[in-house]
Chains A and B, each alone.
Chain A
Amino acid sequence: MRDAVALEETDTETDGRAPGLRVPFPAHAAALSHAARRRLTTLLFAKLALDLIFVAALAVYTHAVAFHPLFSGALDHADGTSVRGWVVDRARPDEAVEVQLYVDGKFVSDALADQPRPDVSAKGFAPDERHGFVFMLDPPLGGEHEARVYAVHASRAGARRTLQQIGSPFRFTAR
């Protein structure tokens, strides 16, 4: 003869409004054996470790790819009419780098650092001298400002562009 309780312990039959015994927990959520508990604990720790390793590896890989560490350059001068400097991508020293100018935290302009800078090649940063940038400010600025220039690095086939500051911010007062 079938046990009446066992019959009612199935998931589909434990309906609050349906006739029969109400089961507060799923029929198969009974207490775990010691071995099962150990297996689950091991499983949880293994998955936690794998998740952590995956996230850490992804972060390190992304940082290496997106934040190109091989830019050299400087923001040499800024005044009310122009901002000047140079930048070289040491991984590709024969290519001109795209740069962006921000004044007081706001985007002003972008350009290619392909202006002649004989001193850059003379110091051995690049085989040619076309690595300078000059941003002409029109209209000229007056008062106190801060200029920042960023090198643009494209990764993931151009889908992601990251900005890396060239040199230090340059504070200037224009009359």
Chain B
Amino acid sequence: MKQASFNPQSEIRIPQSEDRTLAAWEIASVVASVLIGEWVVFALAGDGATGLLFPVATVFVFMFLSHRARGESARDVGWRLDNFGRAARLLALPMLAIFAVFVGVGWYTSNLDFLRWKGGASIFGTPALGLLWGPLQQYALQGFINRRAQVVWGRGWASVLLVALIFAALHLPNPWLTVVTFAGGLLWAYVYQRAPNLLAVGISHSLMTWALVSSIPPSALHNLRVGFKYFGQ
């Protein structure tokens, strides 16, 4: 049986090629579930959320079992508070800059409305949804895909770029969302690799979504629709 390979200089164990292949397949499997939800379920079963239960349930069970098989704890994945401050500091400046750009665009085009959320309902009426959605997406994106991408390519620009590309591709064919999620994906993946904290990147995700929705009219964002649903009314 093959032994784990070692970096002779630092004695850090490097994943074997089989492990990298497995990690790549794990990424593909999670992406496939999201694509099934976005493109197949909405095309065949329509808008009802019932059809989404299966792909959502299977992908979360799969990620949970994969963490267990690899011996990853919740803390490893990023559900922790000790590095929240560090992650928040890394995120603060880019978030302020992006927030300023969004608000500037919204103010310039007279579309600024911080109470706009899903075409009329106030975000303050749905804080749970808003705050839950970001961390959940970031868990799948960073806590799983980013970690597996690091198994494949290690830390650095290659795995960060892969995470951003996947995140953007999952928002196709919505053009604006694809662009902003690519930029957001780069930022969050970079920050996660330096300070893996899912609460920080998740809250950042929710706040940036709020800023985006508040600054750009829903019609321009096509009501944040992605996948097959993008082509609906």
Taking beta carbons and an 8 Å cutoff, which residues of A are in contact with B? Answer: 5, 9, 11-12, 14-16, 21, 23-26, 28-32, 34, 36-37, 39-41, 43-44, 47-48, 50-51, 54-55, 58-59, 61-62, 156, 159-160
Q: Once bound together, how far apart are the Cα atoms of A36 and B26, in whole Å?
A: 14
Q: Once bound together, how far apart are the Cα atoms of A39 and B65, in whole Å?
A: 9
Q: Is the CB of B10 within 8 A of A15?
A: no
Say what secondary structure dominates the interface of chain A.
helix
Known: A12-B83, A47-B62. A62 touches B45 (CB 8 A): yes
- Give the total of B residues in contact with A, Cβ under 8 Å: 50
Which B residues touch A12, using CB under 8 A? 82-83, 86, 194-196
Which A residues touch B46, using CB under 8 A? 156, 159-160
Which A residues touch B13, using CB under 8 A? 30-31
Contact of B4 (CB < 8 Å), options: A30, A41, A156: A30
Known: A55-B40, A58-B41, A159-B46. A26 touches B195 (CB 8 A): no
A62 to chain B, nearest CB (A): 4
Which A residues touch B19, using CB under 8 A? 29, 31-32, 37
B44 to chain A, nearest CB (A): 4
Contact of A44 (CB < 8 Å), options: B16, B25, B147: B25
B59 to chain A, nearest CB (A): 8
Q: Is the CB of B70 within 8 A of A40?
A: yes
Known: A26-B155, A43-B62, A43-B69. A58 touches B44 (CB 8 A): yes
Which of B50-58, B116-124, B180-188 forms contacts with chain A?
Answer: B50-58
A101 to chain B, nearest CB (A): 25
A30 to chain B, nearest CB (A): 4
Contact of A11 (CB < 8 Å), options: B32, B33, B196: B196
B168 to chain A, nearest CB (A): 23
Known: A24-B154, A47-B58, A50-B58. A11 touches B69 (CB 8 A): no
Q: Once bound together, how far apart are the Cα atoms of A156 and B154, in whole Å?
A: 47
Q: Is the CB of A25 within 8 A of B12?
A: yes
Of chain B, the residue at the smallest CB distance from A156 is: B46
B208 to chain A, nearest CB (A): 23
Of chain B, the residue at the smallest CB distance from A58 is: B44
Q: Is the CB of A31 within 8 A of B62?
A: no
A3 to chain B, nearest CB (A): 10
Q: Is B110 an interface residue (CB 8 A)?
A: no
Q: Once bound together, how far apart are the Cα atoms of A21 and B54, in whole Å?
A: 43
Q: Is the CB of A25 within 8 A of B15?
A: yes
User: Per-residue CB proximity of B148-172 to A under 8 Å, as 1/0?
Assistant: 0011001110000000000000000
Q: Once bound together, how far apart are the Cα atoms of A49 and B144, in whole Å?
A: 21
Q: Once bound together, how far apart are the Cα atoms of A9 and B150, in whole Å?
A: 14
Q: Once bound together, how far apart are the Cα atoms of A65 and B55, in whole Å?
A: 21
Q: Is the CB of A58 within 8 A of B51?
A: yes
Contact of A48 (CB < 8 Å), options: B16, B29, B45, B66: B29
| 6 further A-B pairs in the complex, CB-CB below 8 A; given A12-B83, A55-B40 | A24-B156, A25-B154, A26-B150, A34-B1, A48-B29, A58-B44
